[in-house]
Chain A
Amino acid sequence: MGELLRVEGLSKHFGGLKAINGLDLTLEEGETLGIIGPNGAGKTTLFNVICGVLKPTAGKVVLDGEEIQGLPSYKIAHRGVARTFQISKPLKDISIVDNVVASLGIHEYTGIRSLLRNSHKRETVDKALEILERTGLLEFKDKLAREVSLGYLRRLEIARALATNPRLIMLDEPCAGLSNFAINEVIDLVMQLKSEGKSIVLIEHNLPISMKVSDRITVLNYGQKIAEGIPEDIRNNPQVIEAYLGEDDDIA
């Protein structure tokens, strides 16, 4: 079990705004790292930089010993990093099962040759259905993605991430906007992934959820790390309390 992901001196500036500013992070193989912080702390920007949606202003992202910062996002996906989006990005006008099939094809998108390769072979569809079953979406398999509700779209995000068979799963607020019942289902799903030994980075605004799931928590504020440690330590850290008390979110 070695180090899977290392972020070194990472910065992302938008004009004068320093969304991330000199951030260091590490993630061990098989570990679940929670990232918390108030709104605007730079959490989603961090994901976008790691996944290649945005190019960093400075710093390194090292995945399994290789620098990946600045690579386009499809290449980072090929290297085994999967992510979900806080604002769901379903493929609206195709079915739920096809959404997952599309993701299963991660290594099939080879250009013009892919025109001759069937995307709906029995084993591919079976695999997609298996993932839908795991994520509790099986009954909606033939519905179009735009016809299902937000809670199921959140699960679809996770299903699609799983379908790429990733080494690292990055979840961006998978519980935001869900009912308590749906939140528990998502938590169960994440716990299950954890028990299978997956490496996970979880952005979660809701502190109790993050504490429950994470092995270790990093707290961000204004693009910088203000605390890091196991959940119990974070709970009692005065800086964290201060950063959060400025908000109307409740701490359990």
Chain B
Amino acid sequence: MYLTVVSVNIGIFILLALSLNIITGYAGQPALGHAAFFGIGAYTSAILTTSYGMNFWLSIPFAFIMAGIMGGFLGLISIRMRDDFLAITSIGINFVVVAIFQYSDFFGGSLGISLKRPYFFGMKVTATGYLILIGLMILGTVLLILKMKRSWFGLALSSIRNDETAAASFGIDVNRYKVLAFTLGTAIAGMTGAVYAHHMTFIYSSDFAFIVSISILSMVVIGGIGTIRGPIFGAILLGAAPELFRFFADYRMIVYGGLLVFMMRFQSQGFLGYDSVLVRAFKKLFPGGLKKKEGEIIG
């Protein structure tokens, strides 16, 4: 039971890391407030099911759409204004969203929101049920990203990440694709929030604070930005560490912060990036074992 609950939590981090990676890894856009959209999804779902009696399953697409709309809107106004602005608005939105959740009675204010466990064909959803649900969501997201990597959409994001002027010179509407990447990534975070809220059965504003955004970013960066394996590995590593090593829980943020600085300074591709030390060593041991994949970020 304990193991299952921990696995669900790690699964949630995997989804958050994979979705942030669409924005930061593939499109190369700084997004420092991912937890805000996770929170928007969680609160959307929680309010729909508690105040409006909506079915949990139906609330998932609503959470997806609501977070995506907010993300797209923020992306749109940020990008229209100036290039480096997204970094700032994305941090800002995180503090703003948390402040509003905490301040407004509509969002439960300082009491948070308590939720009931949902049913699935008459059966209460158990931890195992959530694990299967999260597993399916991860599978779906991975398939979507795989599809994206071989699509014109993925190629547009790669082009933008590398050189926006060049991308525009062969017909890519750079702003539109940035906003689309932002919308897609935040929508997946919102969907994850819906599951989180009902899995925890209680949500509170600080569950979605800026440090949560930093944790998600750390998972992506430490695992390997712009790959699929990287964020999954990062989420498992950083998600499991506090459970495996009790002492780690107390030093978590210092480790995340230190790792972010260390990785950027010495290994900006993360542990499992295309050209990282580990992957190069692996290739030496097993030549031909890991094939170079087109469209994989390595910068």
Contact = CB atoms under 8 A, between A and B. Distances in A.
A73 B171 CA distance: 7
B297 to A, nearest CB: 6
Interface in A161-208: 163-164
Interface stretch (B88-96, B100-108, B152-160, B239-247): B152-160
Interface of B is mostly: helix
Interface in B42-72: none
B169 A83 contact: yes
Interface in A85-135: 85, 89-95, 97-98, 101-103, 105-112, 114-120
Given A101-B155, A120-B150, A111 B295 contact: no
A115 B299 CA distance: 23
Contact of A74 (B152, B153, B161, B174): B174
A51 interface: yes
Contacts of A105: 152, 155-156, 170-171
Contacts of A119: 150-152, 154-155
A144 interface: yes
Interface residues of A, number: 43
B155 A118 contact: no
B169 A72 contact: no
- Name the residue among B156, B166, B173, B292 with the largest chain A CB count within 10 angstroms: B166
Nearest to A89: B166
Contact of A77 (B144, B170, B292): B170
Contacts, number: 120
Nearest to A142: B292
B261 interface: no
Interface string B133-154: 0000000000010011011111
A74 B173 CA distance: 6
Nearest to B170: A103
- Name the residue among B147, B150, B169, B296 with the largest chain A CB count within 10 angstroms: B169
A212 interface: no
A196 to B, nearest CB: 20
Nearest to A120: B150
Given A114-B152, A115-B151, A94 B162 contact: yes
Nearest to B183: A112
Given A91-B159, A114-B156, 10 more contacts: A73-B165, A74-B172, A90-B163, A93-B299, A95-B292, A102-B158, A107-B171, A109-B171, A117-B152, A117-B153
Interface of A: 51-53, 72-74, 77-78, 82-83, 85, 89-95, 97-98, 101-103, 105-112, 114-120, 142, 144, 160, 163-164
